[in-house]
Amino acid sequence: NAGVTQTPKFRILKIGQSMTLQCAQDMNHNYMYWYRQDPGMGLKLIYYSVGAGITDKGEVPNGYNVSRSTTEDFPLRLELAAPSQTSVYFCASSYPRQEETQYFGPGTRLLVL
Amino acid sequence: QKEVEQNSGPLSVPEGAIASLNCTYSDRGSQSFFWYRQYSGKSPELIMSIYSNGDKEDGRFTAQLNKASQYVSLLIRDSQPSDSATYLCAAYGNNRLAFGKGNQVVVIP
């Protein structure tokens, strides 16, 4: 199993541009999550999904959107990128309940200039 | 009050010594607790999970949970240079996992 994969690894965006961060898992996990981590800080939850077709907001959802059309994929969409969205983004998944261990992808480093 | 607090600054320990990390959480309804290790530039990886009061040992790592005091700790015995990393404490409650800012551990050979 590849586990949780994320693409791209690194991206530079100009202010106002949009992009989609890809996340996929091959563990058949029903729960998936998007976090952002700013330097010296813990992880903040952006959005999560409890299964295909179901998503919900986390602590810091503004400026982001998600969709979950399949169990495997959970893309994160940034609309109108802002410098405040410069961060490292991690996708994670867990099974079979939300309170179980979350497994993280390698992360996407995003720089908005 | 932050949901999960890790207040200690960077911790330097000699190789072979015990590293002790502490964490407090504010949500009394939190159900499960985790310690993740994060190397610089890498993603968090699970070290320990603990769900009930008491100690849980796994190799050189021991997690301790005290729900009455809302306190979680991690002991690393026989610290190795490869243990040098940031350790994140996390508590699950209110349908989400809340993370502390992390404690940096530096093991000095």
Contact flag B99-A43 (C-beta cutoff 8 Å): yes
Residue A42 is predicted with a pLDDT of 85
User: For B35-62, what is each residue's pLDDT tens digit?
Assistant: 999 999 999 999 999 999 999 999 999 9
**B7 confidence band (pLDDT: 50, 70, 90):** confident
The one-letter code for the residue type at B17 is A
Contact flag B88-A99 (C-beta cutoff 8 Å): no
Residue B1 is predicted with a pLDDT of 61
**B95 confidence band (pLDDT: 50, 70, 90):** confident
Whose structure tokens read 């159900």? B31
Residue (of B15, B31, B27) closest to B82 by Cα position: B15
Stretch B65-82: mean pLDDT, rounded?
Answer: 96
- CA–CA distance, A69 with A55 (Å, rounded to integer): 10
Q: Chain B residues within 8 A (CB-CB) of chain A?
A: 4, 31-32, 34, 42-46, 49, 88, 92, 95-102
Instruction: Name residues of chain A where pLDDT drops below 50.
Output: none
